[in-house]
Amino acid sequence: MQAIQSFLEMCKIDDAHSLDQPTLPYPTNLEELFPTSMVNDAQEAIAKWEGYAPTSLHDLSPLSDAIGVDKLLYKDESSRFGLGSFKALGGAYAVEKLMAGRDASQVTVATATDGNHGRSVAWGAQQAGCKCVIYIHAEVSQGRADAMAAYGAKIIRVDGDYDLSVRQCAEDSAKYGYEIISDTTWEGYMDVPRYVMAGYTMMVREIKAQAEPPTHVILQAGVGGLAAAITAALWQDLGAHMPKVIIVEAGFAPCLIASARSGKAETVHITEETIMAGLSCGEASPLAWEILKQRASHFVTIADTAVPTGMRLLASGEAGPKIEAGECGLPGVIALAGIMKDDALRKTTGLGANSRVLVFGCEGATDREIYNKIISGEIV
């Protein structure tokens, strides 16, 4: 119990913004942008993949008791297709869709990534038989680069941040005829990211079979693709019974809270990289923002401080079953604990003793060397 209390003492919200959202059915404008039929097609296709199995939904009752909510449910993506993250569902599915009816051997797919999305695209390309080029930024670890290369991808490291790697990927793809498999959208580029996001919704299908609907869902966000996909799929299923949606970002990359304040998809300049590498994205996806602006009730940011301690806590088994949580697996738990310590936020979010909260452990040890250093205490 002391380990839990020590972790909770570190959890706090650095910034917060709320939107007054009515409870409505899934709106027509979003059905056109992110159709229910696309979601259903993705879920049916992925269910047929070799090796498919639902990932675990853990009840972290020691943590929920200490935090003060009824349930804390943790969707554990550390085992997904052996790739170690939910991203396995998106990039690979988009490659499959793009290769349908084509001679894959004549196609090269490309993407920019912090690691997990690129691993999915590389794996999907290997399955489909096409070539793959992955752009990574300066701070992506060598371990993550090596993991993508192991699936046959060519790795190009860009001397800059994630958003610069996205631009380099787009420029080279236009020059060399690569097919971009991106999880973010821009003007004239919408279909492939929708396939990526549709793949992510497989988690919602699984959760429906694993537990009763939550009252709150806390979603971590980089460009917003995961958060928007889960929000849309829950909304499509539950309509007016939709849980309250809370978005959590790294304080070093707050593009969505900036978007919530301005009312449009924003870009922020990243001056320091967060330990939560997959959240280090400065440019919000316009499609993701279009969904989130109509349904997310709160946007919050957290510091990196509690992440290593939280990873060690989950690995120890003191918070529930032993969980191998990567750096991006903790934001939902940290945000929940921080909100519950903030009287104003606790009131406006409606979180309390009767709340059933769903969070996403979106990755496991996707870089084994970094993970081991954190768990051993070498990285604090």
Q: What is the pLDDT of residues 296-339, one digit of tens each?
A: 999 999 999 999 999 999 999 999 999 999 999 999 999 999 99
Res. 182: pLDDT tops 90: yes
What's the rounded Cα separation, in Å, for the pair 119 and 114? 10
Sequence-distant (≥ 6) Cβ neighbours of residue 305 within 8 angstroms: 10
Is 114 an annotated catalytic residue? yes
- HSE-CB at 351 with a 13 A cutoff on CA atoms is 28
Res. 102: pLDDT tops 90: yes
Count, residues in the chain: 380
- HSE-CB at 194 with a 13 A cutoff on CA atoms is 20
Report angle CA 201, 203, 209 to the nearest 5 degrees. 120
Contact 360, 75 (CB under 8 A): yes
> What mean pLDDT is predicted for residues 85-96?
98
Report angle CA 183, 245, 237 to the nearest 5 degrees. 80
> What mean pLDDT is predicted for residues 179-206?
96
Pick the more confident residue, 240 or 48.
Answer: 48
Is 343 an annotated catalytic residue? no
Give per-residue burial for 279-289: e unless 16+ CB within 10 Å, then b.
Answer: bbbbbbbbbbb
> For tokens 């693709």, what's the residue?
225
pLDDT value of residue 20: 81
> What mean pLDDT is predicted for residues 80-94?
98
Q: What is the dihedral of CA 249, 297, 16, 75, to 10 degrees?
A: -40
pLDDT value of residue 158: 97
Domains in the chain and their CATH numbers?
Answer: 2-86+196-376 (3.40.50.1100), 91-182 (3.40.50.1100)
pTM of the model: 0.97
> What mean pLDDT is predicted for residues 224-246?
96
The active-site residue out of 87, 237, 244, 304 is 87
pLDDT value of residue 221: 98
If pLDDT is split at 50, 70 and 90, which confidence band does 44 have?
very high
What's the rounded Cα separation, in Å, for the pair 179 and 175? 11
The active-site residue out of 71, 75, 76, 114 is 114
If pLDDT is split at 50, 70 and 90, which confidence band does 199 have?
very high
pLDDT value of residue 23: 80
What's the rounded Cα separation, in Å, for the pair 376 and 380? 9
Strand order in the sheet with 296-302: 15-18, 296-302, 244-250, 216-220, 356-361, 71-76, 57-59
pLDDT value of residue 252: 98
> What mean pLDDT is predicted for residues 244-266?
98
pLDDT value of residue 240: 86
pLDDT value of residue 22: 84
If pLDDT is split at 50, 70 and 90, which confidence band does 1 have?
confident
Mean pLDDT of the residues in the chain = 97
> What mean pLDDT is predicted for residues 29-38?
97
What's the rounded Cα separation, in Å, for the pair 241 and 278? 30
